[in-house]
Amino acid sequence: MKFFRRYKYLFLIPLAGFLQRCSQLSSLKSENKQADSAYYTLDDFKSLDKIDAHFHINSDADTIFVNQAKEDNFRILNLNVYKDGGKPIEEQQEFSIKMIKAFPGRVAWVTAFSLENFNNDGWQEEAISYIKNSVSKGAIGVKVWKNIGFFLKDKNGKLVMIDNPRFDPILDYMAKNQIPLIGHLGEHKNSWLPLEKMTVNGNRDYARVHPDEHMYLHPERPSYEDYINARDNMLAKHPDLIFIGAHLGSLEWSVDELAKRFDKYPNMAVDMAERISHLQYQTLTERQKVHDFFIKYQDRIIYGTDLRRGAMDIVNNGITDSEGIKKHSHEVWMRHWKFFTTDEKMRVPKVEGEFRGLKLPREVVNKIYRKNAEKWFSRLKKVKDNSL
């Protein structure tokens, strides 16, 4: 007994070391658990409330997309588009209203205005009246398409760009009433290249089918820079306009160039519709730069796909049945989720080569998949609550 009392501290030293080691292991496990919780996994895909903020639903048959969106926990922002020879915007509006009633909280809607009477007196008032009517019926924004700059001409036969003064009263009205504008203005830079020099397969496939929009074949038309400058001039003239540049704002080829616009135009955001492959292409050689871009500008980037029945990857694969379209939609959404949430090695149909996912933090993923859409389209929350 005397021996134990005399040398008890010798026994306590290893015990203290053991307890300290246990504490360190427990702390390490806790840190690992916290680190794991800072990121999503593939298994988290369906648990997150997500928004695909660039979609085209034009017929009853397209409800198959909505059904898959419901399964994958997506809400959909359906965009109307004015095109010469396309479905009249009045019909698109009527169908969009039908969809938001059929799928309350699941589908929201963006309107468009006609360019048919662009050169006539009273056209501006006509466009503003249409926008006002659409918003009163539930539209949460307005879209303009690349026919502005590609096909629309003034009285003198000159192509009209988005910075044309005739658009100013319309854009002023939208800015004053905080109605967001989605702009597909200009086109991806690959369009000015021959097919064999394009960087991603999706652009190549589209150009083959739409030679009238393949700018390389039309040297008489404006340059890529002309379209970007016209868009930038419009933003400079209307600094209070809430603007979402569709398709990465036609600056898909360079996160550096896109960053310059974010720094210059605080009311500009972009959606990623049909341009995620360009981010993946840049990731092949500059993954860290792309990753850091998402971290720095995490409040300005909105998830979208441009999924529709006529999408080139659907057409090229001969997918026509409902189950095939549902399966394809799920696969596209899952590929994107893997790219943004993991650092696994990947190969995708539109990019040649292997790259690693970005593994963005959970909070950044929350923003690009939902919070940013709700921020830049402020009426979206009311759509979800069915209170518009």
Q: Are 142 and 172 in contact (CB under 8 A)?
A: no
Residue of 196, 169, 197, 171 whose CA lies nearest to 183: 171
Joined together, the tokens standing for residue 89 give 């915007």
Residue of 313, 311, 292, 295 whose CA lies nearest to 368: 295
Q: Are 99 and 78 in contact (CB under 8 A)?
A: yes
HEC readout, 83-145: CCCCCCHHHHHHHHHHHHHHCCCCEEEEEECCCCCCCCCCHHHHHHHHHHHHHHCCCCCEEEC
Could you give phi then psi for residue 110, rounded to 5 degrees?
Answer: -120, 135
Domains of the chain: 44-384 (3.20.20.140)
Q: What's this model's pTM, rounded to 2 decimal places?
A: 0.90
Task: Give the rounded percent of residues in the chain with a pLDDT score beyond 70.
Answer: 90
CA distance 89 to 235: 25
Could you give phi then psi for residue 286, rounded to 5 degrees?
Answer: -135, 55
- Predicted confidence at residue 318, as pLDDT, reads 85
CA distance 326 to 319: 10
Task: Give the rounded percent of residues in the chain with a pLDDT score beyond 90.
Answer: 83
Which residues lie below 8 Å from residue 114, measured CB to CB, with a gap of 6+? 82, 89, 126, 127, 130
SS3 of 218, please? coil
Q: Is 48 exposed, middle or buried (0-12, 13-18, 19+ CB in 10 A)?
A: middle
- Predicted confidence at residue 30, as pLDDT, reads 44
Give the model confidence (pLDDT) of 320-336 as tens digits: 888 999 999 999 999 99
Average pLDDT over residues 61-77: 96
Give the model confidence (pLDDT) of 106-146 as tens digits: 999 999 999 999 999 999 999 999 999 999 999 999 999 99
- Helices 224-237 and 255-264 cross at an angle (nearest 10°) of 20
CA distance 198 to 190: 5
Residue of 309, 346, 341 whose CA lies nearest to 328: 309
- Predicted confidence at residue 32, as pLDDT, reads 47
CA distance 384 to 370: 12
